[in-house]
Amino acid sequence: MSAEVLDGKKISKEIQAEIKERVAAFVATFDHTPTLAAVLVGEDPASQVYVRNKERACERAGIHSQLFRMSAQSTTEDVLELVQQLNEDPAVNGILVQLPLPPSVDSQVVLDAVHPIKDVDAFHPTNVGLISQGRPQFLPCTPHGIIQMLKRYGIQANGKNVVIVGRSDIVGKPMALMLANRDIGLGPEMANATVTLCHSRTSDLKAMTRMGDILIAAMGQPEFITGDMVKPGAVVVDVGINRTDAGLVGDVDYEGVLPVASYLTPVPGGVGPLTVTMLLENTLTATGLQRAAISS
Ligand code: GUN
């Protein structure tokens, strides 16, 4: 048996085409183009690539994007000043501060300063709290992308054992909250899972990962999840993007897991494209929320 490979590029194209139509309808109705402001501090090469990909995706969907570059020597106050300016600019609907920020900048302080109604990453404590309570305003891009991918391949989460490895604020923690809730707006079949959140201190990790009907690898360790750690027939989602001497690899040993799993996401071309796509979705959502706030 060999797993079916989940095609993130194909699903992304599908969703981006839907978003493009919704953006066009919004522009026709309200005469305002949804606008995303991206803040890039420093010269991190991977961040430059991510931001460029996000800009291109915006352009394809008819969303206006603005890039604000700041020097690696910027202070927390410098970045806060820009964020404040973007918060107050009615032309800007979404604000994305690309991570990681340089050591001279306090990421927490900066992310907390983004207005929750423009917080298209869903990193603000207000948005995290709303997700936790099962009534999100925005869904974080990578976890949302994963759920969209599963949904569009007809893979349900309801009643399944989902094992997540990695407890980051960007992926692991919000993913656990979203899947454990009753319904976060994507249908009860894409929630209601029994979730186990594993991390570096988990004892007997292999016993845990082997319980997963759906196994989500998001700990940033190249090819860490090997075939023997996977329950036969499991759905395996690889969130890792690791640059190694051998090139770009995920957190899953792709060749080793392929014969064991029923479905597997590749790296690249799996979860990555969906993360960018869901940012477009959130920018459109933010634009709608701001429009509603103006007219109420
Ligand atoms: N760096 C890595 N992933 C992300 C993300 O989802 N959003 C932002 N802003 N930065 C990131």
CATH number at residue 252: 3.40.50.720
* pLDDT, position 88: 98
Does residue 278 form part of some domain?
no
In short, whether 96's Cβ falls inside 6 Å of ligand 1 is yes
Cut 0.85: pTM above it: yes
Confidence (pLDDT) at 1: 75
Do 266 and 148 reside in the same domain of the chain? yes
Tell me, yes or no, whether 110 and 229 share the same domain: no
In terms of domains, do 94 and 218 share one? no
Q: Do 40 and 91 lie in a common domain? A: yes
CA-to-CA distance for 47 and 36, rounded, in angstroms? 16
Q: What's the total number of domains in the chain?
A: 2
- On whether residue 26 sits in a domain, the answer given is no
Does residue 286 sit within a domain?
no
Mean pLDDT by runs of 10 across the 296 residues of the chain is 95 98 98 98 96 98 98 98 98 98 98 98 98 98 98 98 98 98 97 98 98 98 98 98 95 98 98 98 98 85
CB of 86 closer than 6 angstroms to any ligand 1 atom = no
List of residues 6+ apart from 171 with CB closer than 8 A: 140, 142, 143, 216, 218, 239
Q: Is residue 133, in this structure, part of any structural domain at all? A: no
Whether 220 contacts 226, CB under 8 Å: no
pLDDT for 100: 96
Is 54 among the catalytic positions? yes
* Domain extent for 216: 140-272
Same-domain check for residues 87 and 188: no
Is there a single domain that holds both residue 263 and residue 211?
yes
Q: Is residue 287 situated within a structural domain?
A: no
Q: Which of 7, 16, 119, 121 is catalytic?
A: 121
Residues 112 and 148 in one domain: no
- Domain assignment present for residue 295? The answer is no
| 151 is known as an active-site residue | no
Determine, yes or no, domain membership for 277.
no
Residue 224's pLDDT is what? 98
Which letter, b or e, does each residue of 239-264 get, where b requires 16 or more Cβ atoms within 10 Å of its Cβ? bbbbeeeeeebbbbbbebbbebbbbb
Residue 118 annotated as catalytic = no
Closest Cα to atom 1, ligand 1: which residue?
99
Distance from C-alpha of 55 to C-alpha of 53, rounded to nearest angstrom: 5
Domain presence at residue 249: yes
For the domain that residue 92 is a member of, what is the CATH number? Answer: 3.40.50.10860
Instruction: Kindly name the residue from 7, 16, 98, 173 that is annotated as catalytic.
Output: 98
Residues 105, 164 within the same domain: no
